[in-house]
Amino acid sequence: MSTPATLPWFAAHEFRLAWRDWLAMMTAGRRVRGIVLFIVLAVFYLGLHLLAAALLGPWIRDGITTDKVTLVTVTGTGFLFWTVMLSQALESVTRAYYSRSDLDLLLSSPASSASVFAVRTGAIAFGTVLLACLLASPIINVLIAQDGARWLAAYGVLAGLGALAATLSVLVTIGLFRAIGPARTRLVAQIIAGIVGAGFVIGIQAVAILSLGNMNRYAVMQSPEFVAAAPELSSLIWLPARAAMGGLSAMLLVLLIGFGSLVLVIRATSGSFARHAIAAAGVSAARVQQSASTRPFRKSSQRHALRVKEWKLLRRDPWLLSQTLMQILYLFPPALFLWVSYGQSAGTYVVVIPVIVMAAGQLAGGLSWLAISGEDAHDLVVTAPIHPRAVLIAKIEAVLVSIAVVFGPVLLFVAIASVELAAITGLFVAISAGSATAIQLWFRVPMRRAMFRRRQVASRAATISEALSSIMWAGAAVLAAGNQWIAALPAILAVVVLAVAYALSPKGKRV
């Protein structure tokens, strides 16, 4: 048993909370659900190993040598994982400063805030490494099994890179606090996290599309031009790749750099943790002055009052809206790919149809959650003299009008080229947005709007079915635009996805 308020004591406390959180998230307090989920995840994990074995098989059979192509490929893959780690660490570090849950208790106690910060940063590094190891483990395990135990060192490299990601995240967050103040740090850090997480993937796919005409990022890494332009074999840039391939001294160096920098940064910045966390707490207490309105109250129907309220809240919620809009960023590579691949031959505008349809579905999903589930004054709306159905209709109208405002100009742009294509796109935008909205409606659970980032955790079934239906409708749209009868197939699949989502959704028990 460790001494209270010491570093190990805080670490044990954090570990206990994290473990219980994770358990509750995975099982929702139901043992059977936990077992079923474990089996499903185990099968999925095994499937990833089989996929990795199939992809890596030819490479392993040819014999993996430490040549430049291999180093470029391993480094590129490692960098891909590292950007994901950095993105996750940035978001976690920001949350450590802004999340109030137990921070008030800890900061008001005589315990050292430096210890709290050290433990939380360590936990972030650990969580980051764990996620990266989970994501990379099918590849690493296949390499260990088929090419030798030397690849075990890759786990050490991931640990070092995870620590480095946490280090950089702390530095970026504190830098933002100093440069732009606590009021804007959370939003900017979140945008940076999104861009870092998606940037490398999008960037390299964009290069692949523009230079090679396909979306395979490995094609870029292995292209002769790219390899020729890469630094010489003796360069330090290959240190992590060499370490991952079994170079023991290189791995120790990566670990030393990663954890050494983390310890140094924690020591250097932990003293300011309490100050920044308190400044972050002050942000929520800051008041925003609206320009004094001289406009008289407007006569409106109940539904219109609800719609206007939703639009005001969406407009004034840049942080929540930015999360939604960030999803659209990921749609850029397929758009570019379709544009380059088919644009010139099959009609430039045909190729962007699926991207528009999918983006509409994704955006509608986010906005629907905000409007339907994210109700801050739930009691007020429920106790109002309006039928619950009318409330839902008003909220759906608010979402669909928002979608129309965003996608209207895009459709107009398509209509300049082809009215028929614009009509087809418009139809599928409406269907895709309607499907995503319906899914959010079926899975609605009243929550504070600030819980937006947990919406995917709250219902994985809703998230997965929302994504699947958007993809299916996008496929149906592009095939319908090409006058192909096979468009019916993805459309039927989308309907099946919706039916399954409806069957899985919690029905009744709602006032």
Partner 1 sequence: MSNPHFALDISGLRKSFDRPVVIDLELKVRAGEFYALLGPNGAGKTTILRMVAGLLRQDAGAISVCGIDTAKDPVSAKQIVAWVSDEPMVYDRLTPLEYLEFVAGLWRIDASEAERHANELIDWLGLRPHANERCGGFSKGMLQKVALAGALVHNPRLIILDEPLTGLDAGSARQVKDVLKQKVASGVTVIMTTHILEVAERMAERIGVINHGRLVAEGTLAELRARIGRETTLEEIFLDLVAQKEADLAAEAAA
Please, is 352 exposed, middle or buried when counting C-beta atoms within 10 Å of its C-beta (0-12, 13-18, 19+)?
A: buried
* Terminal-to-terminal C-alpha distance of the chain: 48
Establish if 298 lies at the interface with partner 1 (CB under 8 A): yes
Establish if 288 lies at the interface with partner 1 (CB under 8 A): yes
Establish if 305 lies at the interface with partner 1 (CB under 8 A): yes
Strand pairing partners for 447?
374
Q: Cα–Cα distance between 105 and 277 in angstroms, integer?
A: 12
16, 33, 316, 460: which one contacts partner 1 (CB under 8 A)? 316
* Element of type H or E holding 64: none
- Between the alpha carbon of residue 23 and those of residues 16, 64, 116, 130, 459, the distances in Å are 11, 40, 23, 16, 15
Establish if 290 lies at the interface with partner 1 (CB under 8 A): yes
Given the complex with partner 1, which of 198 and 306 has the nearer CB atom? Answer: 306
| CB of residue 307 to partner 1, shortest distance in Å | 10
Establish if 382 lies at the interface with partner 1 (CB under 8 A): yes
Establish if 287 lies at the interface with partner 1 (CB under 8 A): yes
Which string of x and - marks every residue 420-459 that binds partner 1 (by CB under 8 A)? -----------------------------x----------
Q: Is the distance from CB of 164 to CB of 152 less than 8 angstroms?
A: no
Binding region for partner 1 (CB under 8 A) out of 114-122, 287-295, 352-360, 408-416: 287-295
Subset of 383-422 contacting partner 1 (CB under 8 A)? 383-387
Query: Cα angle vertex 204, ends 202, 207, to 5°?
Result: 105
1: three-class secondary structure by DSSP: coil
Residue (of 66, 80, 71) closest to 241 by Cα position = 71
Which string of x and - marks every residue 340-379 that binds partner 1 (by CB under 8 A)? ------------------------------------xxxx
299, 416, 485, 507: which one contacts partner 1 (CB under 8 A)? 299
Q: Is the distance from CB of 459 to CB of 506 less than 8 angstroms?
A: no
Q: Is the distance from CB of 327 to CB of 363 less than 8 angstroms?
A: yes
Establish if 309 lies at the interface with partner 1 (CB under 8 A): yes
Binding region for partner 1 (CB under 8 A) out of 40-48, 104-112, 300-308, 427-435: 300-308
Binding region for partner 1 (CB under 8 A) out of 225-233, 313-321, 349-357, 478-486: 313-321
Task: Provide the token pair at 195.
Answer: 């861009």
Residues that bind partner 1 (CB under 8 A): 284-293, 296-302, 304-306, 308-309, 312-313, 316-317, 376-387, 449, 511
